[in-house]
Structure 1
Protein backbone atom coordinates (compact mmCIF):
# COMPACT_ATOMS: atom_id res chain seq x y z
CA UNK A 1 0.00 0.00 0.00
CA UNK A 2 1.43 3.38 -1.01
CA UNK A 3 2.48 5.69 1.80
CA UNK A 4 0.52 8.86 2.48
CA UNK A 5 2.68 12.01 2.30
CA UNK A 6 1.55 13.30 5.66
CA UNK A 7 0.64 11.15 8.69
CA UNK A 8 -2.99 10.32 9.36
CA UNK A 9 -4.02 12.18 12.56
CA UNK A 10 -4.73 10.00 15.60
CA UNK A 11 -8.25 11.38 15.96
CA UNK A 12 -9.02 10.03 12.48
CA UNK A 13 -7.77 6.50 13.15
CA UNK A 14 -9.69 6.38 16.43
CA UNK A 15 -13.04 6.83 14.69
CA UNK A 16 -12.22 5.36 11.27
CA UNK A 17 -9.97 2.71 9.87
CA UNK A 18 -8.30 2.27 6.54
CA UNK A 19 -9.80 -0.41 4.38
CA UNK A 20 -7.40 -2.81 2.68
CA UNK A 21 -7.58 -3.76 -0.99
CA UNK A 22 -8.37 -7.38 -0.03
CA UNK A 23 -11.41 -6.23 1.92
CA UNK A 24 -12.52 -3.71 -0.68
CA UNK A 25 -12.64 -6.25 -3.50
CA UNK A 26 -14.66 -8.62 -1.32
CA UNK A 27 -17.60 -6.18 -1.28
CA UNK A 28 -20.18 -5.86 -4.07
CA UNK A 29 -18.41 -3.81 -6.70
CA UNK A 30 -21.09 -1.28 -7.60
CA UNK A 31 -23.18 -1.12 -4.42
CA UNK A 32 -20.96 -1.52 -1.33
CA UNK A 33 -22.83 -1.73 2.01
CA UNK A 34 -20.64 0.83 3.84
CA UNK A 35 -20.04 4.55 3.84
CA UNK A 36 -16.61 5.36 2.39
CA UNK A 37 -14.48 8.38 3.30
CA UNK A 38 -11.37 9.78 1.68
CA UNK A 39 -8.55 11.51 3.53
CA UNK A 40 -7.81 14.97 2.18
CA UNK A 41 -4.17 15.77 2.88
CA UNK A 42 -4.63 19.48 2.18
CA UNK A 43 -7.07 19.88 5.05
CA UNK A 44 -5.89 16.84 7.08
CA UNK A 45 -9.38 15.46 7.53
CA UNK A 46 -11.86 13.00 6.03
CA UNK A 47 -14.68 13.81 3.66
CA UNK A 48 -17.48 11.53 2.45
CA UNK A 49 -16.85 9.70 -0.82
CA UNK A 50 -19.96 7.50 -1.13
CA UNK A 51 -22.88 6.36 1.02
CA UNK A 52 -23.83 2.78 1.79
CA UNK A 53 -26.07 1.22 -0.83
CA UNK A 54 -25.36 4.00 -3.34
CA UNK A 55 -24.94 2.79 -6.92
CA UNK A 56 -21.39 3.63 -8.07
CA UNK A 57 -20.40 4.48 -11.62
CA UNK A 58 -17.49 2.77 -13.34
CA UNK A 59 -15.45 5.92 -12.78
CA UNK A 60 -16.25 5.91 -9.05
CA UNK A 61 -15.31 2.23 -8.78
CA UNK A 62 -11.95 3.00 -10.36
CA UNK A 63 -11.44 6.02 -8.12
CA UNK A 64 -12.34 3.98 -5.04
CA UNK A 65 -9.71 1.39 -5.95
CA UNK A 66 -7.11 4.11 -6.49
CA UNK A 67 -7.84 5.75 -3.14
CA UNK A 68 -7.55 2.37 -1.44
CA UNK A 69 -4.18 1.71 -3.09
CA UNK A 70 -2.95 5.12 -1.91
CA UNK A 71 -3.98 4.29 1.66
CA UNK A 72 -6.44 7.16 1.98
CA UNK A 73 -9.74 5.26 1.90
CA UNK A 74 -11.51 4.84 5.23
CA UNK A 75 -14.68 3.36 6.73
CA UNK A 76 -16.28 4.45 10.01
CA UNK A 77 -15.83 2.27 13.07
CA UNK A 78 -19.51 2.98 13.76
CA UNK A 79 -20.20 0.74 10.75
CA UNK A 80 -18.31 -2.12 12.39
CA UNK A 81 -21.46 -4.31 12.77
CA UNK A 82 -21.97 -4.21 9.00
CA UNK A 83 -18.27 -4.66 8.33
CA UNK A 84 -17.95 -7.57 10.76
CA UNK A 85 -21.03 -9.36 9.41
CA UNK A 86 -19.49 -9.20 5.96
CA UNK A 87 -16.13 -10.53 7.14
CA UNK A 88 -17.83 -13.34 9.09
CA UNK A 89 -18.76 -14.87 5.75
CA UNK A 90 -15.17 -14.64 4.51
CA UNK A 91 -13.31 -15.09 7.78
CA UNK A 92 -9.84 -15.40 6.29
CA UNK A 93 -10.04 -11.66 5.63
CA UNK A 94 -9.14 -11.04 9.30
CA UNK A 95 -5.68 -12.36 8.50
CA UNK A 96 -5.02 -9.68 5.89
CA UNK A 97 -6.69 -6.62 7.40
CA UNK A 98 -4.08 -4.94 9.58
CA UNK A 99 -6.50 -2.11 10.41
CA UNK A 100 -8.80 -4.17 12.62
CA UNK A 101 -8.26 -3.99 16.35
CA UNK A 102 -7.79 -7.19 18.34
CA UNK A 103 -11.13 -6.65 20.09
CA UNK A 104 -12.89 -6.18 16.76
CA UNK A 105 -11.36 -9.38 15.41
CA UNK A 106 -12.50 -11.27 18.52
CA UNK A 107 -16.06 -10.02 17.96
CA UNK A 108 -15.89 -11.21 14.35
CA UNK A 109 -14.69 -14.68 15.36
CA UNK A 110 -17.48 -15.09 17.93
CA UNK A 111 -20.12 -13.97 15.43
CA UNK A 112 -18.71 -16.22 12.69
CA UNK A 113 -18.62 -19.32 14.88
CA UNK A 114 -22.16 -18.73 16.10
CA UNK A 115 -23.26 -18.58 12.47
CA UNK A 116 -21.25 -21.61 11.31
CA UNK A 117 -22.18 -23.84 14.25
CA UNK A 118 -25.86 -22.99 13.98
CA UNK A 119 -25.78 -24.07 10.33
CA UNK A 120 -23.83 -27.23 11.15
CA UNK A 121 -26.04 -28.36 14.04
CA UNK A 122 -29.09 -27.76 11.87
CA UNK A 123 -27.56 -29.80 9.03
CA UNK A 124 -24.53 -31.84 10.19
CA UNK A 125 -23.30 -32.89 6.75
CA UNK A 126 -19.93 -32.68 5.03
CA UNK A 127 -20.59 -29.59 2.94
CA UNK A 128 -21.72 -27.52 5.93
CA UNK A 129 -18.89 -28.91 8.06
CA UNK A 130 -16.31 -27.87 5.46
CA UNK A 131 -17.23 -24.19 5.91
CA UNK A 132 -16.89 -24.55 9.70
CA UNK A 133 -13.57 -26.35 9.29
CA UNK A 134 -12.15 -23.52 7.17
CA UNK A 135 -13.15 -20.93 9.76
CA UNK A 136 -11.63 -22.87 12.66
CA UNK A 137 -8.40 -23.14 10.69
CA UNK A 138 -8.43 -19.35 10.30
CA UNK A 139 -8.66 -19.07 14.09
CA UNK A 140 -5.75 -21.44 14.67
CA UNK A 141 -3.64 -19.55 12.13
CA UNK A 142 -4.50 -16.32 13.93
CA UNK A 143 -3.58 -17.82 17.33
CA UNK A 144 -0.42 -19.47 16.00
CA UNK A 145 0.88 -15.98 15.26
CA UNK A 146 0.29 -14.92 18.90
CA UNK A 147 -1.30 -17.30 21.41
CA UNK A 148 -2.17 -14.43 23.76
CA UNK A 149 -4.84 -13.31 21.30
CA UNK A 150 -7.09 -15.98 22.82
CA UNK A 151 -7.62 -13.67 25.82
CA UNK A 152 -9.75 -11.26 23.77
CA UNK A 153 -12.05 -14.16 22.82
CA UNK A 154 -12.24 -15.36 26.44
CA UNK A 155 -13.50 -11.91 27.42
CA UNK A 156 -16.43 -12.47 25.05
CA UNK A 157 -17.89 -15.67 26.47
CA UNK A 158 -21.65 -15.59 25.96
CA UNK A 159 -24.17 -15.79 28.81
CA UNK A 160 -27.25 -16.95 26.89
CA UNK A 161 -27.38 -20.73 26.78
CA UNK A 162 -27.99 -22.78 23.65
CA UNK A 163 -26.13 -25.63 21.99
CA UNK A 164 -24.54 -23.09 19.65
CA UNK A 165 -23.40 -20.56 22.27
CA UNK A 166 -22.25 -23.35 24.61
CA UNK A 167 -20.17 -24.88 21.84
CA UNK A 168 -18.62 -21.53 20.91
CA UNK A 169 -17.82 -20.83 24.57
CA UNK A 170 -16.30 -24.27 25.04
CA UNK A 171 -14.25 -23.92 21.87
CA UNK A 172 -12.76 -20.69 23.19
CA UNK A 173 -12.36 -21.84 26.80
CA UNK A 174 -10.93 -25.20 25.78
CA UNK A 175 -8.30 -23.52 23.60
CA UNK A 176 -7.50 -20.98 26.32
CA UNK A 177 -6.97 -23.76 28.87
CA UNK A 178 -4.77 -25.74 26.50
CA UNK A 179 -2.61 -22.74 25.59
CA UNK A 180 -2.28 -21.53 29.19
CA UNK A 181 -1.59 -25.01 30.58
CA UNK A 182 1.09 -25.65 27.96
CA UNK A 183 2.36 -22.04 28.12
CA UNK A 184 1.78 -21.68 24.40
CA UNK A 185 3.96 -24.67 23.51
CA UNK A 186 1.46 -26.40 21.23
CA UNK A 187 2.41 -27.67 17.79
CA UNK A 188 0.20 -26.47 14.95
CA UNK A 189 -1.25 -29.91 14.16
CA UNK A 190 -2.27 -30.40 17.79
CA UNK A 191 -3.69 -26.87 17.91
CA UNK A 192 -5.80 -27.53 14.81
CA UNK A 193 -7.12 -30.84 16.11
CA UNK A 194 -7.74 -29.55 19.63
CA UNK A 195 -9.61 -26.53 18.32
CA UNK A 196 -11.89 -28.67 16.18
CA UNK A 197 -12.51 -31.02 19.11
CA UNK A 198 -13.23 -28.20 21.57
CA UNK A 199 -15.82 -26.58 19.30
CA UNK A 200 -17.46 -29.91 18.36
CA UNK A 201 -17.18 -31.85 21.63
CA UNK A 202 -20.94 -31.57 22.20
CA UNK A 203 -22.13 -32.10 18.62
CA UNK A 204 -23.99 -35.26 19.59
CA UNK A 205 -26.51 -32.98 21.33
CA UNK A 206 -27.85 -31.92 17.93
CA UNK A 207 -29.31 -35.43 17.71
CA UNK A 208 -31.26 -35.04 20.98
CA UNK A 209 -34.87 -33.74 20.59
CA UNK A 210 -35.11 -30.03 21.39
CA UNK A 211 -38.11 -30.52 23.72
CA UNK A 212 -35.68 -32.33 26.04
CA UNK A 213 -32.72 -29.96 25.73
CA UNK A 214 -34.87 -26.86 26.34
CA UNK A 215 -37.07 -28.29 29.08
CA UNK A 216 -37.35 -26.05 32.16
CA UNK A 217 -38.68 -28.75 34.48
CA UNK A 218 -36.52 -31.58 35.86
CA UNK A 219 -35.88 -34.32 33.30
CA UNK A 220 -37.51 -37.71 33.69
CA UNK A 221 -35.30 -40.77 33.96
CA UNK A 222 -36.07 -41.60 30.34
CA UNK A 223 -35.22 -38.08 29.18
CA UNK A 224 -31.99 -38.10 31.18
CA UNK A 225 -31.16 -41.41 29.52
CA UNK A 226 -31.54 -39.81 26.09
CA UNK A 227 -29.27 -36.91 27.11
CA UNK A 228 -26.66 -39.40 28.24
CA UNK A 229 -26.50 -40.90 24.75
CA UNK A 230 -25.12 -37.72 23.18
CA UNK A 231 -21.42 -38.64 23.53
CA UNK A 232 -22.07 -41.81 21.54
CA UNK A 233 -24.07 -39.91 18.95
CA UNK A 234 -21.25 -37.37 18.69
CA UNK A 235 -18.66 -40.08 18.18
CA UNK A 236 -20.69 -41.61 15.36
CA UNK A 237 -21.00 -38.22 13.71
CA UNK A 238 -17.26 -37.61 14.08
CA UNK A 239 -16.51 -40.95 12.43
CA UNK A 240 -18.91 -40.14 9.58
CA UNK A 241 -17.07 -36.85 8.97
CA UNK A 242 -13.63 -38.43 9.18
CA UNK A 243 -12.78 -36.76 12.51
CA UNK A 244 -12.11 -39.79 14.69
CA UNK A 245 -8.63 -38.71 15.86
CA UNK A 246 -7.55 -38.85 19.50
CA UNK A 247 -8.37 -35.29 20.60
CA UNK A 248 -11.82 -35.45 19.04
CA UNK A 249 -12.68 -38.81 20.56
CA UNK A 250 -11.39 -37.75 23.97
CA UNK A 251 -13.34 -34.49 23.96
CA UNK A 252 -16.59 -36.12 22.86
CA UNK A 253 -16.52 -39.23 25.02
CA UNK A 254 -14.81 -37.92 28.15
CA UNK A 255 -16.14 -34.40 28.77
CA UNK A 256 -18.83 -35.80 31.12
CA UNK A 257 -16.55 -38.28 32.87
CA UNK A 258 -15.41 -37.37 36.38
CA UNK A 259 -12.24 -38.18 38.32
CA UNK A 260 -14.16 -40.14 40.98
CA UNK A 261 -15.95 -42.32 38.41
CA UNK A 262 -19.34 -40.65 38.87
CA UNK A 263 -19.61 -39.38 35.29
CA UNK A 264 -20.88 -40.90 32.07
CA UNK A 265 -21.07 -42.62 29.59
CA UNK A 266 -18.42 -45.13 30.73
CA UNK A 267 -18.10 -44.16 34.42
CA UNK A 268 -14.31 -44.27 34.14
CA UNK A 269 -12.11 -42.61 36.78
CA UNK A 270 -9.03 -40.38 36.90
CA UNK A 271 -6.43 -42.85 35.67
CA UNK A 272 -8.44 -43.75 32.59
CA UNK A 273 -9.37 -40.20 31.50
CA UNK A 274 -7.01 -38.40 29.12
CA UNK A 275 -5.58 -35.00 29.93
CA UNK A 276 -7.59 -33.46 27.12
CA UNK A 277 -10.73 -35.16 28.41
CA UNK A 278 -10.10 -33.70 31.88
CA UNK A 279 -9.48 -30.28 30.33
CA UNK A 280 -12.71 -30.41 28.34
CA UNK A 281 -14.67 -31.55 31.40
CA UNK A 282 -13.62 -28.34 33.15
CA UNK A 283 -14.29 -26.21 30.06
CA UNK A 284 -17.71 -27.79 29.49
CA UNK A 285 -18.91 -27.44 33.09
CA UNK A 286 -17.50 -23.91 33.44
CA UNK A 287 -19.21 -22.74 30.25
CA UNK A 288 -22.51 -24.26 31.36
CA UNK A 289 -22.30 -22.64 34.79
CA UNK A 290 -21.73 -19.09 33.47
CA UNK A 291 -24.89 -19.15 31.29
CA UNK A 292 -28.56 -18.86 32.12
CA UNK A 293 -30.12 -22.30 31.62
CA UNK A 294 -33.77 -23.34 32.01
CA UNK A 295 -33.00 -24.88 35.41
CA UNK A 296 -30.20 -22.62 36.72
CA UNK A 297 -29.15 -18.97 36.67
CA UNK A 298 -25.73 -17.91 35.46
CA UNK A 299 -22.85 -17.73 37.94
CA UNK A 300 -20.13 -15.08 37.73
CA UNK A 301 -17.10 -16.66 36.02
CA UNK A 302 -14.94 -16.26 39.14
CA UNK A 303 -17.51 -18.12 41.25
CA UNK A 304 -17.94 -20.87 38.66
CA UNK A 305 -14.18 -21.41 38.51
CA UNK A 306 -13.98 -21.48 42.32
CA UNK A 307 -16.76 -24.09 42.50
CA UNK A 308 -14.87 -26.32 40.07
CA UNK A 309 -11.61 -25.83 41.96
CA UNK A 310 -13.34 -26.78 45.22
CA UNK A 311 -14.76 -29.91 43.56
CA UNK A 312 -11.36 -31.55 43.26
CA UNK A 313 -12.80 -35.06 43.62
CA UNK A 314 -14.48 -34.69 40.24
CA UNK A 315 -12.55 -32.02 38.32
CA UNK A 316 -8.85 -31.71 37.59
CA UNK A 317 -7.54 -28.86 39.74
CA UNK A 318 -4.80 -27.99 37.21
CA UNK A 319 -7.37 -26.63 34.80
CA UNK A 320 -9.84 -25.27 37.35
CA UNK A 321 -7.02 -23.35 39.04
CA UNK A 322 -5.95 -21.76 35.75
CA UNK A 323 -9.47 -20.40 35.30
CA UNK A 324 -9.85 -19.28 38.89
CA UNK A 325 -6.49 -17.52 38.98
CA UNK A 326 -7.21 -15.70 35.71
CA UNK A 327 -10.57 -14.36 36.86
CA UNK A 328 -9.44 -13.51 40.41
CA UNK A 329 -6.44 -11.58 39.06
CA UNK A 330 -8.64 -9.80 36.49
CA UNK A 331 -6.49 -11.19 33.69
CA UNK A 332 -9.80 -12.01 31.99
Structure 2
Protein backbone atom coordinates (compact mmCIF):
# COMPACT_ATOMS: atom_id res chain seq x y z
CA UNK A 1 0.00 0.00 0.00
CA UNK A 2 1.44 3.37 -1.01
CA UNK A 3 1.59 6.22 1.48
CA UNK A 4 0.85 9.72 0.28
CA UNK A 5 3.35 12.29 1.56
CA UNK A 6 2.39 15.96 1.63
CA UNK A 7 4.91 18.02 -0.30
CA UNK A 8 6.58 20.95 1.40
CA UNK A 9 5.83 24.44 0.12
CA UNK A 10 9.10 26.36 -0.04
CA UNK A 11 9.46 29.86 1.41
CA UNK A 12 12.30 32.38 1.70
CA UNK A 13 13.07 30.94 5.12
CA UNK A 14 13.35 27.44 3.65
CA UNK A 15 16.01 28.68 1.23
CA UNK A 16 18.00 30.70 3.79
CA UNK A 17 17.94 27.72 6.17
CA UNK A 18 19.35 25.41 3.47
CA UNK A 19 22.01 27.98 2.57
CA UNK A 20 22.92 28.36 6.25
CA UNK A 21 23.22 24.57 6.55
CA UNK A 22 25.65 24.63 3.59
CA UNK A 23 23.44 22.48 1.36
CA UNK A 24 24.88 22.61 -2.15
CA UNK A 25 23.59 25.19 -4.61
CA UNK A 26 22.72 22.50 -7.17
CA UNK A 27 20.63 20.59 -4.64
CA UNK A 28 18.75 23.75 -3.65
CA UNK A 29 18.06 24.51 -7.32
CA UNK A 30 16.70 20.99 -7.85
CA UNK A 31 14.52 21.39 -4.78
CA UNK A 32 13.08 24.65 -6.14
CA UNK A 33 12.36 23.01 -9.51
CA UNK A 34 10.57 20.02 -7.99
CA UNK A 35 8.58 21.70 -5.18
CA UNK A 36 5.65 24.08 -4.85
CA UNK A 37 6.72 27.47 -3.53
CA UNK A 38 5.44 30.73 -2.08
CA UNK A 39 8.43 33.04 -2.15
CA UNK A 40 8.50 36.69 -1.11
CA UNK A 41 10.11 38.34 -4.12
CA UNK A 42 9.34 41.89 -3.01
CA UNK A 43 12.19 44.38 -2.73
CA UNK A 44 12.45 43.64 0.99
CA UNK A 45 12.47 39.91 0.31
CA UNK A 46 15.28 40.22 -2.25
CA UNK A 47 17.34 42.39 0.12
CA UNK A 48 16.98 39.86 2.94
CA UNK A 49 18.03 37.00 0.65
CA UNK A 50 21.13 38.94 -0.41
CA UNK A 51 22.03 39.72 3.21
CA UNK A 52 21.69 36.02 4.04
CA UNK A 53 24.21 35.28 1.26
CA UNK A 54 21.79 33.27 -0.88
CA UNK A 55 23.62 32.62 -4.21
CA UNK A 56 22.55 34.67 -7.22
CA UNK A 57 21.54 31.58 -9.21
CA UNK A 58 19.21 30.55 -6.40
CA UNK A 59 17.61 34.01 -6.16
CA UNK A 60 17.20 33.93 -9.94
CA UNK A 61 15.42 30.54 -9.75
CA UNK A 62 13.18 31.85 -6.96
CA UNK A 63 12.16 34.83 -9.09
CA UNK A 64 11.38 32.59 -12.06
CA UNK A 65 9.23 30.39 -9.81
CA UNK A 66 7.27 33.43 -8.56
CA UNK A 67 5.17 34.81 -11.38
CA UNK A 68 3.99 37.52 -11.44
CA UNK A 69 6.55 39.58 -9.53
CA UNK A 70 5.57 42.83 -7.76
CA UNK A 71 5.56 46.01 -9.86
CA UNK A 72 8.87 47.87 -9.64
CA UNK A 73 9.31 51.60 -9.09
CA UNK A 74 12.37 53.86 -8.79
CA UNK A 75 12.56 53.52 -5.02
CA UNK A 76 12.77 49.71 -5.31
CA UNK A 77 15.91 50.06 -7.44
CA UNK A 78 17.46 52.57 -5.02
CA UNK A 79 16.65 50.38 -1.99
CA UNK A 80 18.13 47.23 -3.54
CA UNK A 81 21.26 49.07 -4.67
CA UNK A 82 22.04 50.74 -1.33
CA UNK A 83 21.39 47.46 0.52
CA UNK A 84 24.00 45.55 -1.45
CA UNK A 85 21.90 43.54 -3.90
CA UNK A 86 24.12 42.74 -6.88
CA UNK A 87 23.71 44.58 -10.17
CA UNK A 88 23.04 41.25 -11.89
CA UNK A 89 20.09 40.39 -9.63
CA UNK A 90 18.63 43.91 -9.88
CA UNK A 91 18.89 43.70 -13.68
CA UNK A 92 17.09 40.34 -13.77
CA UNK A 93 14.41 41.56 -11.39
CA UNK A 94 13.78 44.51 -13.72
CA UNK A 95 13.62 42.20 -16.75
CA UNK A 96 11.27 39.71 -15.06
CA UNK A 97 8.90 42.31 -13.56
CA UNK A 98 6.34 44.80 -14.70
CA UNK A 99 7.52 48.33 -13.91
CA UNK A 100 6.28 51.85 -13.40
CA UNK A 101 9.54 53.80 -13.53
CA UNK A 102 9.80 57.57 -13.65
CA UNK A 103 12.61 58.71 -15.95
CA UNK A 104 12.05 62.43 -15.93
CA UNK A 105 15.02 64.78 -15.59
CA UNK A 106 14.35 65.15 -11.87
CA UNK A 107 14.04 61.38 -11.43
CA UNK A 108 17.35 60.76 -13.24
CA UNK A 109 19.04 63.28 -10.95
CA UNK A 110 17.62 61.49 -7.89
CA UNK A 111 18.91 58.14 -9.19
CA UNK A 112 22.33 59.70 -9.78
CA UNK A 113 22.39 61.15 -6.23
CA UNK A 114 21.52 57.69 -4.89
CA UNK A 115 24.56 56.37 -6.82
CA UNK A 116 22.52 53.97 -8.90
CA UNK A 117 24.92 52.87 -11.69
CA UNK A 118 24.29 54.16 -15.19
CA UNK A 119 24.08 50.55 -16.44
CA UNK A 120 21.02 49.95 -14.25
CA UNK A 121 19.40 53.21 -15.31
CA UNK A 122 19.81 52.11 -18.94
CA UNK A 123 18.04 48.84 -18.14
CA UNK A 124 15.24 50.83 -16.47
CA UNK A 125 14.83 52.77 -19.72
CA UNK A 126 14.33 49.53 -21.70
CA UNK A 127 13.21 47.06 -19.02
CA UNK A 128 12.49 44.10 -21.30
CA UNK A 129 15.52 42.52 -22.90
CA UNK A 130 16.10 43.97 -26.38
CA UNK A 131 15.72 41.63 -29.33
CA UNK A 132 18.79 41.30 -31.52
CA UNK A 133 18.23 41.84 -35.21
CA UNK A 134 19.74 39.80 -38.01
CA UNK A 135 19.75 39.78 -41.81
CA UNK A 136 20.02 35.99 -41.85
CA UNK A 137 17.30 34.72 -44.25
CA UNK A 138 16.61 31.76 -41.94
CA UNK A 139 15.53 34.13 -39.20
CA UNK A 140 12.30 36.08 -38.84
CA UNK A 141 12.44 39.73 -39.91
CA UNK A 142 11.51 42.25 -37.24
CA UNK A 143 10.99 41.89 -33.52
CA UNK A 144 8.89 39.09 -32.07
CA UNK A 145 6.37 40.09 -29.41
CA UNK A 146 7.17 38.83 -25.90
CA UNK A 147 4.92 36.19 -24.39
CA UNK A 148 1.87 37.65 -22.65
CA UNK A 149 1.53 36.72 -19.01
CA UNK A 150 -1.05 33.98 -19.49
CA UNK A 151 -1.97 31.75 -16.54
CA UNK A 152 -0.30 28.35 -16.38
CA UNK A 153 -2.21 25.88 -18.51
CA UNK A 154 -4.31 23.15 -16.90
CA UNK A 155 -4.11 19.43 -17.73
CA UNK A 156 -7.42 19.66 -19.61
CA UNK A 157 -5.80 21.86 -22.30
CA UNK A 158 -3.88 18.88 -23.72
CA UNK A 159 -5.17 16.00 -25.81
CA UNK A 160 -2.95 13.41 -24.13
CA UNK A 161 0.58 12.63 -23.01
CA UNK A 162 3.42 14.25 -24.95
CA UNK A 163 5.42 17.47 -25.42
CA UNK A 164 3.41 20.53 -26.43
CA UNK A 165 4.65 23.91 -27.66
CA UNK A 166 2.77 26.94 -26.33
CA UNK A 167 2.23 29.12 -29.41
CA UNK A 168 1.24 32.78 -29.34
CA UNK A 169 -0.04 34.28 -32.57
CA UNK A 170 -2.33 36.83 -30.96
CA UNK A 171 -5.24 36.06 -28.66
CA UNK A 172 -5.24 32.98 -26.44
CA UNK A 173 -2.33 30.52 -26.64
CA UNK A 174 -2.55 27.33 -28.68
CA UNK A 175 -0.84 24.05 -27.77
CA UNK A 176 0.78 22.14 -30.61
CA UNK A 177 2.19 18.65 -30.06
CA UNK A 178 5.73 17.73 -31.10
CA UNK A 179 5.69 14.39 -32.91
CA UNK A 180 8.24 11.85 -31.64
CA UNK A 181 10.98 10.54 -33.93
CA UNK A 182 13.09 7.43 -33.38
CA UNK A 183 16.55 7.15 -34.92
CA UNK A 184 19.34 4.61 -34.80
CA UNK A 185 21.54 5.90 -37.59
CA UNK A 186 24.84 5.47 -35.74
CA UNK A 187 28.22 6.54 -37.13
CA UNK A 188 31.71 7.40 -35.93
CA UNK A 189 33.43 10.79 -36.14
CA UNK A 190 34.66 12.39 -39.36
CA UNK A 191 37.78 11.98 -41.46
CA UNK A 192 39.96 14.18 -39.22
CA UNK A 193 39.10 12.19 -36.12
CA UNK A 194 39.76 8.92 -37.96
CA UNK A 195 43.22 10.11 -39.06
CA UNK A 196 44.15 11.28 -35.55
CA UNK A 197 42.85 8.05 -34.08
CA UNK A 198 45.03 6.04 -36.49
CA UNK A 199 48.18 8.04 -35.66
CA UNK A 200 47.64 7.65 -31.90
CA UNK A 201 46.73 3.94 -32.24
CA UNK A 202 43.24 4.55 -30.92
CA UNK A 203 44.15 6.72 -27.93
CA UNK A 204 42.60 9.92 -29.27
CA UNK A 205 39.36 8.11 -30.02
CA UNK A 206 36.36 8.91 -32.16
CA UNK A 207 33.06 10.51 -31.27
CA UNK A 208 29.93 8.41 -31.66
CA UNK A 209 27.24 10.30 -33.54
CA UNK A 210 23.59 9.89 -34.46
CA UNK A 211 22.33 11.27 -37.76
CA UNK A 212 18.92 12.57 -38.80
CA UNK A 213 17.93 12.46 -42.46
CA UNK A 214 16.46 15.91 -43.05
CA UNK A 215 18.41 19.19 -42.81
CA UNK A 216 15.70 20.68 -40.58
CA UNK A 217 12.80 19.51 -38.45
CA UNK A 218 9.24 19.52 -39.79
CA UNK A 219 7.95 21.24 -36.64
CA UNK A 220 8.78 24.96 -36.84
CA UNK A 221 8.78 27.23 -33.79
CA UNK A 222 8.89 31.00 -34.32
CA UNK A 223 9.88 32.28 -30.92
CA UNK A 224 12.69 33.99 -29.02
CA UNK A 225 12.06 32.14 -25.79
CA UNK A 226 9.77 29.14 -26.36
CA UNK A 227 7.61 27.53 -23.69
CA UNK A 228 6.74 23.83 -23.68
CA UNK A 229 4.50 21.64 -21.56
CA UNK A 230 5.49 18.06 -20.72
CA UNK A 231 2.38 15.95 -20.14
CA UNK A 232 2.78 12.52 -18.54
CA UNK A 233 0.23 9.72 -18.32
CA UNK A 234 -1.20 8.28 -15.13
CA UNK A 235 0.35 8.58 -11.69
CA UNK A 236 3.97 9.68 -11.31
CA UNK A 237 6.29 6.70 -11.59
CA UNK A 238 9.31 5.82 -9.51
CA UNK A 239 12.48 7.54 -10.79
CA UNK A 240 14.08 4.16 -11.59
CA UNK A 241 11.12 2.85 -13.54
CA UNK A 242 11.76 2.37 -17.24
CA UNK A 243 8.78 1.61 -19.44
CA UNK A 244 8.31 1.03 -23.15
CA UNK A 245 6.24 4.21 -23.42
CA UNK A 246 8.27 7.26 -22.39
CA UNK A 247 5.40 9.16 -20.86
CA UNK A 248 4.35 6.14 -18.78
CA UNK A 249 7.83 5.60 -17.37
CA UNK A 250 9.67 8.85 -16.63
CA UNK A 251 9.40 10.91 -13.50
CA UNK A 252 9.93 14.48 -14.75
CA UNK A 253 11.59 16.61 -17.47
CA UNK A 254 14.86 15.80 -15.69
CA UNK A 255 14.84 12.58 -17.73
CA UNK A 256 15.22 14.61 -20.93
CA UNK A 257 18.12 16.56 -22.43
CA UNK A 258 17.66 19.41 -24.89
CA UNK A 259 20.27 19.36 -27.66
CA UNK A 260 21.19 21.85 -30.34
CA UNK A 261 21.52 19.60 -33.39
CA UNK A 262 24.25 20.36 -35.92
CA UNK A 263 23.17 20.62 -39.59
CA UNK A 264 25.40 18.77 -42.07
CA UNK A 265 25.43 18.25 -45.85
CA UNK A 266 23.49 15.03 -45.35
CA UNK A 267 21.05 16.18 -42.69
CA UNK A 268 21.63 16.73 -38.96
CA UNK A 269 23.71 14.99 -36.30
CA UNK A 270 24.63 15.04 -32.61
CA UNK A 271 27.25 13.36 -30.41
CA UNK A 272 26.16 10.67 -27.94
CA UNK A 273 29.54 9.42 -26.72
CA UNK A 274 33.22 8.75 -27.40
CA UNK A 275 35.29 5.59 -27.81
CA UNK A 276 39.06 5.14 -27.56
CA UNK A 277 41.27 2.06 -27.47
CA UNK A 278 41.16 2.12 -23.67
CA UNK A 279 37.77 3.57 -22.76
CA UNK A 280 34.21 4.14 -23.86
CA UNK A 281 31.77 6.74 -22.59
CA UNK A 282 28.14 7.48 -23.40
CA UNK A 283 26.17 10.64 -22.85
CA UNK A 284 25.78 13.96 -24.59
CA UNK A 285 29.14 15.70 -24.52
CA UNK A 286 28.39 18.81 -26.57
CA UNK A 287 25.48 20.97 -27.64
CA UNK A 288 23.31 20.59 -24.53
CA UNK A 289 20.99 23.51 -23.78
CA UNK A 290 19.92 24.17 -20.16
CA UNK A 291 16.23 24.67 -19.46
CA UNK A 292 14.09 25.23 -16.40
CA UNK A 293 10.79 23.64 -15.43
CA UNK A 294 7.97 24.22 -13.00
CA UNK A 295 5.94 21.33 -11.63
CA UNK A 296 2.22 22.01 -11.98
CA UNK A 297 0.98 18.57 -10.99
CA UNK A 298 2.30 15.00 -10.88
CA UNK A 299 1.62 14.68 -14.62
CA UNK A 300 2.16 18.23 -15.91
CA UNK A 301 5.32 20.37 -16.10
CA UNK A 302 5.98 23.75 -17.70
CA UNK A 303 9.40 23.90 -19.41
CA UNK A 304 10.90 27.31 -20.15
CA UNK A 305 14.14 29.29 -20.50
CA UNK A 306 15.52 32.22 -18.54
CA UNK A 307 17.15 33.76 -21.60
CA UNK A 308 16.54 34.06 -25.33
CA UNK A 309 17.52 30.98 -27.36
CA UNK A 310 19.49 31.15 -30.62
CA UNK A 311 17.85 30.16 -33.88
CA UNK A 312 18.76 26.63 -34.97
CA UNK A 313 17.82 22.97 -34.91
CA UNK A 314 16.92 21.43 -31.55
CA UNK A 315 15.58 18.21 -30.08
CA UNK A 316 14.44 16.93 -26.68
CA UNK A 317 15.96 13.50 -26.05
CA UNK A 318 14.83 10.86 -23.58
CA UNK A 319 18.15 10.75 -21.72
CA UNK A 320 18.47 7.27 -20.24
CA UNK A 321 21.81 5.46 -20.45
CA UNK A 322 20.09 2.15 -21.12
CA UNK A 323 18.48 3.62 -24.22
CA UNK A 324 21.86 4.38 -25.88
CA UNK A 325 22.34 0.70 -26.68
CA UNK A 326 19.26 0.66 -28.93
CA UNK A 327 17.39 3.55 -30.50
CA UNK A 328 16.96 7.12 -29.32
CA UNK A 329 13.56 8.71 -29.04
CA UNK A 330 13.57 12.43 -29.73
CA UNK A 331 11.23 15.36 -30.23
CA UNK A 332 12.83 17.73 -32.74
CA UNK A 333 11.92 21.25 -33.78
CA UNK A 334 13.37 24.05 -35.88
CA UNK A 335 13.65 27.33 -33.95
CA UNK A 336 13.45 30.46 -36.08
CA UNK A 337 13.82 33.90 -34.51
CA UNK A 338 15.98 37.02 -34.39
CA UNK A 339 18.59 35.68 -32.00
CA UNK A 340 22.00 34.90 -33.53
TM-score (norm 2): 0.27
Would you tell me which structure has more strand in proportion to its own residues?
2
TM-score (norm 1): 0.28
The structure, 1 or 2, with the larger RCO (C-alpha pairs under 8 Å, 6+ apart) is: 2
